[in-house]
Structure formats: structure tokens, C-alpha cells
């Protein structure tokens, strides 16, 4: 969280949180600076963000727009995406997202995004690129329960549902179970497609979208990422 805030510490002007979700990071930005805007593709996320911001006694404009359809009548000094790039769309849409971001940035404006490199956390994960795995995978046996303010308990499970090494996409199945006093009272499941990108491809996409001066560091550290060490990286680019 602080990594993103620090990335704009020398920037004056409005900042766009693209893919703001429920506003977790947006709240912290608003405590540090007031010139913020939030945007997410999901209407229910924006509804939750409104509640989260209100509870924190902060506020900013919020929009329901997908990144590849971004069309806000405002230019920004900075735009960031935290954990949102490559979710639910195609490679064409992801490239269009970068073009839209570039088009919404002032000249010299800064774009910042984090990115998880594919399968670096699991050596066995690479086997799926050359040998077809058994999918969907099994659900994890043990998950952490989280308690809501009303005393309800939530369990979140995730498993790989599908994988395409040719198109570099994976599909995750997500299951959320709600219970109270030890009794299950609700459950939802859904699928989400995720584009898998390696660093060189991202750099080419950023250049194609019009960005320059692309810098890549370890997430949370101002140092060059190390092979076999850094799974999560931070990318910064200038419009």
C-alpha cells in the first residue's frame, strides 16, 4: 500500500485509482492527499467503495468503467493499477487499457502498476506449460476464516479451473462461503480469466501504448528485480 503512495510523493495533481475495488487503497491515498478519483469495472465494487470511504470520512469521485473503456472527462497527473491488470479481459483489451491510461495522463504524467510474474512461486506450476495438467485442481483443504463486523464468518477458496499455455491465460474458480454460529447461510462461486504476462511483453505493450522511460523494480524496494527471487514487481512509465 505504502509503495503506491510513495510512487506519487513527488507528483502534484489528481491521481486515478484504476481498478479501485472496494476502495482499500483509495482510502489511504485520500488520507495522504485529497485530489483522487476512483474507478472500477464492477458496480458492486463501487457501491462498497462508497461505504468504505464514508466510514473513513473521506470522499472522491467514483466511476463504473472498465479499464479498456476508460472515458473520464479529466486528465490526471498519475494513474495506478494495483492487482487489476489482466483481469477478465483479452490481450487486445489489456493493450487498449494501457492506451486509455496514456490518453488520460497529462504530458509527463506517471503510470504505476504492480504485476505478478507467472508461476514463479511454484516450480511444479511450470510443468503445466509443457504437460497438460488435470483440471480443475482440487480445492484447498484449509483456508483462513475472516469475521465480519456482524459476526458472520467468511471462507474464501481459490483453485485453478483452466489453463491455456498457447494464449497465456489461466482461469481461477473462486468460492466464498458465509456462515454464522457454525451454520452455513450462503455460498457463491465464480470464474475469472487472468492474462499471464512476462516482463518483456509488458514493456512492449507499454511502448506500443505510447509510454516511455519504463522502470521496473522489486515491489516495495527501489532495486532491480532478481530472477528466481522476485515474483511481484513494480512498473512505472511516463506518458
What is the secondary structure of 84-122 as a DSSP string?
A: -TTBSS-HHHHHHHHHHHHHHEEEEEEEEEEEEPTTTT-
Per-residue pLDDT at 123 = 59
Place of cell 463504473: 64
Q: What's the pLDDT score for residue 151?
A: 82
Strands 212-218 and 183-195: unpaired
pLDDT of residue 150: 79
* Peptide bond before residue 136 is cis, with ω within 30 degrees of 0: yes
pLDDT tens-digit series, residues 25-52: 999 999 988 899 999 999 999 999 999 9
Question: For each successive 10 residues of the chain (239 residues), what is the average pLDDT?
Answer: 89 96 95 93 96 95 97 97 92 97 97 89 76 91 83 90 94 92 88 95 98 96 91 96
> What pLDDT sits at residue 8?
93
- Measured in residues, the chain has a length of 239
What pLDDT score does 228 carry? 86
Q: Distance between CA atoms of 156 and 154, rounded to whole angstroms?
A: 7
| Pairing status of strand 183-195 against strand 169-180 | antiparallel
Amino acid at each position: 500500500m505504502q509503495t503506491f503512495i510513495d510512487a506519487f510523493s513527488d507528483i502534484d495533481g489528481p491521481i486515478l485509482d484504476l481498478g479501485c475495488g472496494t476502495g482499500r487503497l483509495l482510502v489511504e491515498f485520500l488520507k495522504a492527499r485529497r485530489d483522487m478519483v476512483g474507478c472500477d469495472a464492477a458496480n458492486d465494487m463501487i457501491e462498497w467503495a462508497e461505504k468504505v470511504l464514508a466510514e473513513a470520512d473521506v470522499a472522491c469521485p467514483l466511476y463504473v468503467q472498465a479499464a479498456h473503456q476508460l472515458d473520464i472527462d479529466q486528465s490526471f497527473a498519475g494513474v495506478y493499477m494495483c492487482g487489476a491488470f489482466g483481469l477478465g479481459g483479452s490481450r487486445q483489451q489489456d493493450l487498449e487499457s494501457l492506451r486509455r491510461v496514456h490518453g488520460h495522463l497529462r504530458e509527463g504524467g506517471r503510470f504505476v502498476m504492480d504485476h505478478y510474474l507467472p508461476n514463479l512461486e511454484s516450480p511444479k506450476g511450470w510443468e503445466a506449460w509443457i504437460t497438460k495438467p488435470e483440471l480443475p485442481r482440487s480445492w484447498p483443504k484449509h483456508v483462513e476464516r475472516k469475521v465480519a463486523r456482524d459476526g458472520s464468518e467468511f471462507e474464501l477458496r481459490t483453485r485453478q479451473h483452466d489453463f491455456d499455455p498457447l494464449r497465456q491465460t489461466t482461469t481461477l474458480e473462486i468460492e466464498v462461503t458465509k456462515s454464522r454460529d457454525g451454520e452455513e447461510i450462503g455460498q457463491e462461486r465464480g470464474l475469472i480469466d487472468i492474462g499471464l504476462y512476462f516482463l518483456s511483453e509488458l514493456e512492449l505493450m507499454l511502448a506500443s501504448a505510447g509510454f516511455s522511460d519504463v522502470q521496473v523494480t522489486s515491489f516495495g524496494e527501489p532495486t532491480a528485480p532478481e530472477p528466481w527471487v522476485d515474483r511481484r514487481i513494480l512498473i512505472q512509465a511516463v506518458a
